Amino acid sequence: MKITHEPDAHRYVLSEDGEFLGEVDYDRKGAVLHLVRAEVPVEKRGQGLGVPLVKGTLEAIREEGGLTITPVCPYIAKYMMKNSEFDDLRA
């Protein structure tokens, strides 16, 4: 599985072998990304894709550097509360 950043679409996409597995949408204000939605397609739900989607997105944001985030999406906010290794990304 890999995460791809699509800045023109304001999203990070999780895929495997070209198959779309989920996305995190964001609004950007300066150097702050407001992560507004994490979604896995209905037919893929229940397969444990939410964690790799959110974790991969946060890791990609960290690798890009110079950005902080505000988790608006409840799923992302909850993930971050349970995984303090991403606290450095908070705006």
Chain segment 5-64, per-residue pLDDT in tens = 999 999 999 999 999 999 999 999 999 999 999 999 999 999 999 999 999 999 999 999
Sheet with 19-29, side-by-side order of all strands: 2-6, 11-16, 19-29, 32-39, 68-71
Residue range(s) defining the domain that contains residue 69: 2-89
* CA 54 to centroid of chain Cα atoms: 4
Q: What is the pLDDT of residue 73?
A: 98
- Tokens 């996305």 sit on residue: 23
Domain count, the chain: 1
* pLDDT of 53: 98
Q: Which pLDDT score, from 0 to 100, does residue 18 have?
A: 93
At residue 68, the pLDDT reads 97
Are 4 and 13 within 8 A, CB to CB? yes
**CATH code of the domain covering residue 51:** 3.40.630.30
Going by C-alpha positions, the residue among 49, 1, 86 that lies closest to residue 78 is 86
Question: Distances from the Cα of 4 to the Cαs of 7, 8, 15, 19, 29, in angstroms?
Answer: 9, 12, 8, 12, 20
